[in-house]
């Protein structure tokens, strides 16, 4: 059975033992032959399937950095621990997905065929990645996470371990959209909105 179709029915990691099981799965996958030579285009060769794998790996590595940055710098301290408690499992799941991508050995590999069918290769993938990285440079956080959703949504049917990662990201996204932001709360301006009461007294 191809790696891409392995489904871990234990979607929620609630104990240290379950997290260790995830790490053991990662170790085993990394122990498989890594067939995807990276940087083919940089060697002057035509764009190939290796570059698609590289692009998706870069996206997943970048998404890890984005999410942990948002947890540490944007989520208020009193809620941050809840996100950090779930972060280790999310990070390992992303690493499992990256390791699975690195087992791709050709454009006939079952994983690569599924990527192609989900429009995660060649020009469709380049367009999505271009928009994602463009938003990081020029757009607010919700727009960045929204674009990440579009890529993750296509990856979920192929790399099943990413499902709970999507839930973690959506929870983080909702927290940042609808609740207080640590960047603002740390300014310590509480109470200054009362200036209008003082102004009213002087009328």
pLDDT at 15: 78
Distance CA 74, CA 50 (A): 35
What is the torsion angle, in degrees rounded to the nearest 10, for the CA atoms of residue 28, residue 155, residue 2 and residue 89?
30
pTM of the predicted model, to two decimals?
0.79
Distance CA 151, CA 145 (A): 10
The answer to whether residues 159 and 4 touch, using CB atoms and an 8 Å cutoff, is yes
Domain boundaries of the chain, sorted by first residue: 12-179
Distance CA 98, CA 150 (A): 18
pLDDT at 33: 60
CA neighbor of 168 nearest in space, from 110, 83, 62: 83
pLDDT at 202: 60
| Digitized pLDDT (tens) for each residue of the chain, 203 residues in all | 344 433 333 345 567 888 999 999 999 988 876 655 565 555 667 788 999 999 999 999 999 999 999 999 888 888 899 999 999 999 999 999 999 999 998 899 999 999 999 999 999 999 999 999 999 888 888 888 889 999 999 999 999 999 999 999 999 988 888 776 666 556 555 555 555 556 556 65
CA neighbor of 152 nearest in space, from 142, 164, 141, 135: 164
């Amino acid at each position: 059975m191809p790696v891409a179709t392995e489904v871990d029915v234990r979607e929620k990691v609630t104990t240290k033992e379950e997290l260790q099981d995830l790490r053991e799965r990662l170790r085993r996958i990394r122990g498989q032959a890594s067939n995807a030579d990276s940087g083919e285009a940089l060697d002057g060769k035509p764009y190939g399937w290796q570059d698609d794998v590289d692009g998706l790996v870069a996206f997943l590595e970048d998404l890890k950095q984005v999410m942990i940055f948002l947890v540490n710098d944007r989520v208020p301290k009193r809620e941050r621990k809840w996100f950090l408690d779930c972060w280790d499992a999310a990070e390992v799941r992303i690493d499992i997905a990256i390791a699975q991508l690195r087992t791709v050995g050709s454009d006939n590999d079952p994983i690569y065929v599924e990527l192609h069918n989900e429009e995660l290769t060649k020009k469709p993938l380049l367009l999505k990645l271009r928009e994602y990285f463009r938003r990081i440079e020029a757009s607010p956080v919700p727009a960045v996470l929204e674009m990440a959703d579009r890529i993750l949504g296509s990856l979920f049917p192929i790399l099943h371990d990413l499902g709970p990662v999507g839930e973690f990201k959506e929870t983080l996204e909702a927290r940042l959209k609808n609740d207080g932001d640590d960047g603002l709360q740390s300014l310590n301006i509480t109470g200054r909105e009362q200036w209008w009461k003082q102004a009213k007294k002087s009328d």
